[in-house]
Structure 1
Amino acid sequence: MRRHPALLLVAAAIALLSCTASAAASLALKVDGQAVVAQLMQLAQWSDDPAPAVTRLIYTDNDMKARAYVQQLMREAGLQVREDTMGNIYGRLAGTDPEGAAVATGSHTDAIPGAGAYDGTVGVIGGIAALRALGEAGFKPARPIEVVMFTSEEPTRFGLSCSGSRAMAGLLDSACLDTLRDVNGSTYLQAASAAGYGAASTAQMVAGARRTPADLAAFLELHIEQGPELEKEGLQIGIVTAIAAPAALRVRFSGDGGHAGAQLMPLRNDASLAAAELALLVEKTALGTGVVDTVATVGSWHIQPNAVNSVPREAALEIDVRDIDGPRRDGVLAAIKAEAAAIAARRKVRLAVETINQDPPAACGAQVVAAVEAAVREVGASSKRMVSRAYHDSLFMAQIAPTGMVFIPCRNGWSHRPDEFAAPDDIQRGIEVLALALAQLAGDGSRGSGGGGGGSGSGARTEL
C-alpha cells in the first residue's frame, strides 16, 4: 500500500521528536512560579491607568520602561539580546549549531485600555523563565532557542494588530503603515522614531524585521486561554491545534444632523440609528451561522457631535468578526456589508465601509503539537486539544514556521479587564511544558542530534 508523502513526513517529524524527548524528560527543571508572578506584577506597574488596570500603548513612556525591564530579565537569564527596526526584542539561547534555524517562543507586553496583568506577558516573562530553566539545568540545545517580545500585538494605538509579527512574517505592507495615525495625529514612523526605533522610512523599518522559513524551525507561544473551557473542565493545559481567522470592518454612516428640538422626526436621517440597527444585525448574522466558532463584536462606537441636544450626523463603528473557518467568516462579513448598504438606503444616510484586516486562519504544525503533548505527559498535566478563538502573534508566525500554542487556565475565562488572573501553579506548569517542548524541538546539542522538530540541522524546516 502506498503511503501519502505528507503522512510520512509527519511520522518522520514525530520520530525525530522521540529521539530528543528522552533527553528533555531527564531535565531537572526548576521554575519558580512565585518569582514569575512577581515579575508580572512589576511589569504591570508601568501603566497609563492605576492598578489593577493595565494600559500600555506601544512606543509610549510606560511601554519603553516595560521593554527595558524585559531586556534586563533576558540578560539576567544569560540570553543574547537584540532589537529589530520594528522594536521586536529577542533573547537568544545559543545552540551548538549556530547556523541552524532557531526555535522560538514569545508574546507581547502591550495592553489595551483597562486590561489585566497576564495577557501576553505570561508568554514573554514565561518564555524567559523557560529558557533560564533550560540553561540552569545544563541543557545545550542543538538549534538556538529565542524568546521574542513582539511589538504591538494590540491594535489600540494605530488600529492595526500584530504589526511586529506581521513584519517578521512578510505580511505587513509599509504603504498601509504610512496611512496609520494615532488619536494625536502621529504617524507610526514618527512614534517609533521618537521611541528610538524605526528607520528612514516605513519600508526600511518593515524590511529590517523580516524573518524567513530558513530562519525559524518552529514557534510555540504560551498564553492564558482568555476563555472558560479549561477552568470549567478542570483541565490544566490546552494544546492548541488551530487559530481563528480575524477580520475587522470600519463602517461610517453620515447624515445631516440638526437641532434635537427643531428637526422633526419625519425629516431626520439619524446616523446613530443606522448604526444601532446594524449592530443588532451583526449579532443576528453571527448567530445565524449556527456554529459556536463564529463570533462578531461591535467593539468601537463613535458618535458626532455626541451632544444630547443634537441629532447625530455621523456614527462610526468598528466590527470584529472571527471564525476558525475562513469562508464562513467571509460570508458573515459579506452579509454585514450588504445589511449596512440596505440600512443606509432605507434611512437615507451615506455609507463608507473599510476593511481593516482580513487574515486567514492557521493550523498548528503537527510536530509542534506532538512536542507539546509529549511535554504534557512528562509533566503529568491534564489537558485537551482545543482551538484558539482569540488570535495572537502565532497566527502570523504560522505563515513562516510550524507553530503551536500552550494555553493555561484564567479565572472565569476573563481577559482584557483589570481582574484578569492566572494562578501561580498554572503559570509554573505552563512554563514547564513550554520549556520541555522547546527542548524537544531544538534538539539536544550534547548528543549531536540536530534539531528536533523542524528539519535538518542545515536550517531548512520540514514542510508538513
Structure 2
Amino acid sequence: MRRCPAAPSALLLAAATLALLSFAPAAAALKLQVDGQAVVDQLMHLAQWSDDPSPAVTRLLFTDNDMKARAYVKQLMREAGLQIREDTMGNVYGRLPGSDPTAAAVATGSHTDAIPGAGAYDGTVGVIGGIAALRALREAGFTPAKPLEVVMFTSEEPTRFGLSCSGSRTMAGLLDPAYLDTLRDVNGSTYLQAATAAGYGAASSAQMVAGARRTPADLAAFLELHIEQGPELEKEGLQIGVVTAIAAPAALRVKFSGDGGHAGAQLMPLRNDASLAAAELAIFVEQAALGTGVIDTVATVGSWQVQPNAVNSVPRETALEIDVRDIDGPRRDGVLAAIKAKAAAIAERRKVRLQIETINQDPPAACGTEVVAAVEGAVRELGLSSKRMVSRAYHDALFMAQIAPTGMVFIPCRNGWSHRPDEFASPSDIARGIEVLALALAQLAGGSEGGSGSSGSGGARAEL
C-alpha cells in the first residue's frame, strides 16, 4: 500500500506545503530539552551487551545479550514515564497516553539487534532517541491528543533465522506463520521455540504472528529516526535528511550445475563449467542495473559458492545470491525478470542445469505526504539545514508503511559508514535528530502544552 508516489505531483506538493505552513502552534511553541551526550552515553552503555569485544557490537535475537539489551531499553522507558508492553513476537513498546484514549497511536522506533561486527548507532539511535523524544515532550508539558509510542522492533537484522524485519513484517501482516515454521537457527531451533524460551511466543506460530498484528485502526502514523548509512548529508554539510521513499530489496538464489571433472583430463570442448555460467550472469547483473539509466537501481552478487572448490577440479556447482533494490517496484522487478531470463539463456547455451529461487521480493514504499510535511515543519521551526532524499537501505519503516503513513528522519554519520565497529554519529547531530523527531511527532499526534496526560493500558504485559 503505497502512500504517495516517489516523485510527488504538483497537487501533492501543494498539499505538503499547506500542511507545512499550518505547523501546529502547540508543537512549534514547545521548549524541548535534549541532551545529545546523555543519549550517546546510553548508546555506549547499550553497546556493552555484545557477543564480540568493543568497539564491535554483535547482538542476535533472543540471545543473552539481546535480553539484557531489552531490559535496559525497558528501564529507559520506565525512567521516561512511559507505559511498557511486549507482544508475542518480542516487539517492545513504550507508550505516552493521549487525551483521546480511543485514537490510533503515532509511533516511532527502530531496532537494537546487530549483525556480527556492527557498530553502536545503527537502529539504536532510533530506539534510544525515540525514548528521549517522548521524554522531552512529556517534560515540556505536552499532552498528545493521540497516544505516542516508541517501539523496539524485534530482529530487524536477518542474523539468527535469516529473516529480516520479523517484528515489523509481522505487524504489517506480511509474515506467513507456515513459512516461519520452516526457519531454523544454527542449533535447529524454530523462531517459536526461541521466542518461548525468551518469555514471548504463543501456543503456535499462527497465534504468535496474530498477536503482533497492527492495523490502521490502531496506528495513525509512523516516523523512524536513523543514521543515514550513506555519505550525502556529511558531504553536503546538511543536518537533516527528510526521507521521501524507501528502497526495498528482492533477492534471488541461482544455482548452476554441471558435470565437473578433472582439471587436466576434462577437455575444454567437453566442459559445462558451472562457475563460468555464474560469472556470465554476475556481469549481466551489473549491466541490468546500469541499463535502467536510473541511479536508484542497484544490484549486487553478494554470495558466491563453488563446489568442489578445488584448484584441480572443474566446478560442477555454483550458487549465487543476488540482491536487487530500487524505490520503484516495477523497475526493480523488470531487472529481476531480465536476470532470470539471462540465467536461462546462459544455462541453455553452456549446457548446465539451472535452479532459481526467489528468496524475498518486498515492496518499496513512498513516505506519507503528511509525515514528510511534519518533518519539514520541524526542520524549519528549528532553523536546520536539510534535503529530501531516499533511503537506499531498508528499515522497519518499509513495513510500517504498509499499515499507516510513514516517514524517516536521517542524521549524518561519519564517512557514511555503518555495519562496522567505527560507525559514529556526533552528540549534536543526534540531539538535532531527536528534536526534529519530537516536534514532528507532536504535530502528527496533535495536543497541547500544559496537560498532565492520562494513564491507560499499554496492552499485553503492560507495566508502569
Does the alignment reach a TM-score above 0.5? Answer: yes
Query: 2:275–2:316: 8 Å Cα contact kept in structure 1?
Result: yes
Q: Which residue number corresponds to residue 120 of structure 2?
A: 117
Q: Deviations over 1:150-196 (max 9, x none)?
A: 11212222222211111111111112212222344332222222322
Gaps of 5+ in 1: 1-5, 449-464
Please state if 1:207 is matched with 2:224.
no
Which residue identity is paired with 1:103? V
Kindly provide the CA deviation profile for residues 329-386 of structure 1, in whole angstroms up to 9, marking residues without a partner as x. Answer: 0110011111222222233322211111112221111111111111101111100111
- Could you tell me how far apart the structure 1 residues matched to 2:52 and 2:275 are? 30
Matched, 1:253 2:256: yes
For these two proteins, the number of residue pairs brought into alignment is 444
Mapping for residues 80-229 of structure 1, pairs under 5 Å: 80-229=83-232
Counterpart for residue 462 of structure 1: none
**Contact 1:293–1:323 (Cα < 8 Å) also in 2:** yes
Question: Using the alignment, how far apart are the partners of 1:183 and 1:270 within structure 2?
Answer: 32
Q: Distance in 2 between matches of 1:49 and 1:312?
A: 36
Give the conservation status (yes or no) of the 8 Å contact 1:160–1:356. Answer: no
**CA–CA separation in structure 2 for the residues paired with 1:191 and 1:295:** 35
Q: 2:391 aligns with which of 388, 391, 401?
A: 388
User: Which residue does 1:399 correspond to in 2?
Assistant: 402
Tell me by how many angstroms 1:9 deviates.
10
Matches of 2:111 and 2:171, distance apart in 1: 14
1:374 aligned onto 2:368: no
Deviation (angstroms), 1:321:
0.6
**Structure 2 residue matching 1:143: 3-state secondary structure:** coil
Q: How far 1:148 moved relative to its partner? A: 0.4
How far 1:309 sits from its partner (Å)? Answer: 4.8
The Cα shift of 1:223 comes to: 0.7
Secondary structure, aligned partner of 2:249: strand
Q: Structure 2: 5+ residue runs without aligned partners?
A: 1-8, 452-464
For the Cα contact (< 8 Å) 2:19–2:374, is it kept in 1?
A: no
Secondary structure of the corresponding residue to residue 439 of structure 2: helix
Question: Counterpart in 1 of 2:323?
Answer: 320
Instruction: Find the aligned partners of 1:21 and 1:417 in 2 and give their Cα distance.
Output: 39
Checking the alignment, whether the CA contact within 8 Å between 2:23 and 2:374 is kept in structure 1 is no
Partner of residue 74, structure 1? 77
Residues 315 and 50 of structure 1: CA distance in aligned 2, closer, same or farther (over 3 Å): farther
**Which residue is 1:451 aligned to?**
none
Q: Deviations over 1:109-142 (max 9, x none)?
A: 1122222221111111110111111111111111
Change (3 A) 1:69 1:303: farther
The DSSP-based 3-state class of the residue aligned with 1:140 is strand
- TM, length-normalised to structure 2: 0.89
The correspondence for 1:40, drawn from 39, 43, 47, is 43
Task: Quote the residue 1:235 is aligned against.
Answer: 238
Moved more, 372-381 or 356-365: 356-365
Cα distance change of structure 1 residues 62 and 265 upon mapping to structure 2, 3 Å threshold: farther
The structure-2 alpha-carbon separation of the partners of 1:29 and 1:271, relative to structure 1 and needing over 3 Å to count, comes to: same
When the two chains are superposed, the root-mean-square deviation of aligned CA atoms in Å is 2.4
Match of 2:64 in 1: 61
Asked if the contact 1:281/1:336 (under 8 Å) is kept, the reply is yes
Q: TM-score scaled to structure 1, two decimals?
A: 0.89
- In the aligned structure 2, how far is the partner of 1:98 from the partner of 1:9? 31
In structure 2, the CA distance between the partners of 1:434 and 1:57, relative to structure 1 (3 Å rule), is: same
Instruction: From the superposition, tell whether residues 254 and 384 of structure 1 become closer, same or farther in structure 2 (CA, over 3 Å).
Output: same
Alignment of 1:304-319 (within 5 A): 304-319=307-322
How far apart are residue 274 of structure 1 and its match? Answer: 2.6
Amino acid at match of 1:110: D
Corresponding residue of 1:456: none
Supply the distance in 1 between the matched residues of 2:303 and 2:185 (Cα, whole angstroms). 15
SS of the residue aligned with 2:372? helix
Q: What letter matches 2:306 in structure 1? A: I
1:420 aligned counterpart, secondary structure: coil
Q: Distance in 1 between matches of 2:258 and 2:446?
A: 62
TM-superposition CA deviations, 1:260-316 (whole Å, max 9, x none): 555554444333333232222211211111110100112223333444454443322
Separation in 2 of the partners of 1:118 and 1:269? 47
